Amino acid sequence: MGLSEILLVIVSSAGLLHGLAFAIYLAFAKKKKTLPNYLLALILLFMAFRIGKSVMLNFGNDLEPAFIFIGLGFMLLIGPLLRWYVDGMTLVNHKLPRFYYLETLPFVLLFVASLFITKNWFETNRREVIMIFGSVLIFIYLHFAFYIFLAAKAVKTIRQNHPEASRTKSQKTILVWLKLLVIGFVLIWISYFLNIIEDTVPYIIGPIMYSIVVYFLSFKAFQLKVTDMDGDAFKRNEDVNLFNQMVKHIAEDKLYLEPDVSLSSLGKLVNLSTQKTSEIINQYAKQNFNDFINFYRIQEAKKLLVAEDSENFTIASIAFDAGFNSLSSFNSAFKKFENITPSAYKRKNFNN
């Protein structure tokens, strides 16, 4: 074995051992025991077996066919585990339904079949042997690709259901992590798949790519602290409920019509401090309290300005009816939201 081959063994084996160490940490040393952590540990464990088979096949001789097929078959487990992991990291109180275990059936069938494969049969160059092995190989890689696609689709759906503007810090972290995880598996899949297409890339590139990916992902996992998170991060934020209550009091109950409405009075209605009430309005309305209230007042004033009997009312009376306590504050707020004075707005709409 030459120096280059020794280096390749060291690099690929180091990644394998690192993945195993990370899996042991998640399963046994990690204080917070969560379903996603156990699933990720299993992914790393089965990937280690898969990579170990690759290293031994590339540098070793006389491997038993059963070992080769079982090593390949672990990819039939890794795919479902990846999707289950994504669900565990994005769904609240997620538990694995029993029917999920049916997804392990392809691996079980291949595992059982591999026990009956003899070395003499496998090493013949008969056409049926080549066709069977080729078909199994293609099925395994397409199966893996299908589950990577399902995982990526699940992440995309979560991103759509939780717009960036309303995501919590934990939700943003999990989505970044899952994106990196899916990309990592895509790279591993590509490196292995290219090898079976007429040896486009050397076979050992797969284990090396895995080593690079697992080192990077383990670093990001600790940096982002995702091993302390799970799908509970996607619980409906209580602040959203509180904000919706505020909107109900202001808009539906027309609290904005009261000139003396304040942060303090609104906070009392939802049992919050003045500071917390202000924080929630700033976060979800993207406005301060005055603009939040004045927006509804201006909408009310616009209706009054163009009403059929509006000629019977002065601008000042409309301002007071809309909840403003002075004509000057009304004019300032109206121009801020509509870029026009109340009088000009009234003339413009009557002329139209």
For the stretch 48-67, pLDDT in tens is: 887 776 666 666 566 777 77
Q: Mean pLDDT for the chain?
A: 85
Read off φ and ψ for residue 23, nearest 5 degrees: -65, -45
Give the tens place of pLDDT for each residue, 11-31: 767 777 888 899 999 999 888
Per-residue pLDDT for 293 more than 90? yes
Per-residue pLDDT for 8 more than 70? no
Count of CA atoms in the C-beta half-sphere (13 A) of 125? 0
Residue 4's pLDDT band (cuts 50, 70, 90): low
Question: What is the mean pLDDT of the segment spanning 261-274?
Answer: 90
Task: Domain 238-351: give its CATH architecture.
Answer: Orthogonal Bundle (1.10)
Q: Report which of residues 247 and 66 the model is more confident about.
A: 247
Per-residue pLDDT for 352 more than 60? no
Residue 89's pLDDT band (cuts 50, 70, 90): very high
pLDDT score of 207:
77
pLDDT score of 59:
63
pLDDT score of 77:
93
Residues whose CB is less than 8 angstroms from the CB of residue 136 and which lie 6 or more positions away in sequence, other chains included: 69, 72, 110
**Angle between the N-to-C axes of helices 35-59 and 205-224, in degrees from 0 to 180, rounded to the nearest 10:** 160
Residues whose CB is less than 8 angstroms from the CB of residue 116 and which lie 6 or more positions away in sequence, other chains included: none
Given this structure, which CATH class describes domain 3-234? mainly alpha
Per-residue pLDDT for 123 more than 90? no
Domain boundaries, the chain: 3-234, 238-351
Question: What is the mean pLDDT of the segment spanning 39-43?
Answer: 95
Give the tens place of pLDDT for each residue, 216-239: 999 999 999 999 999 988 876 667
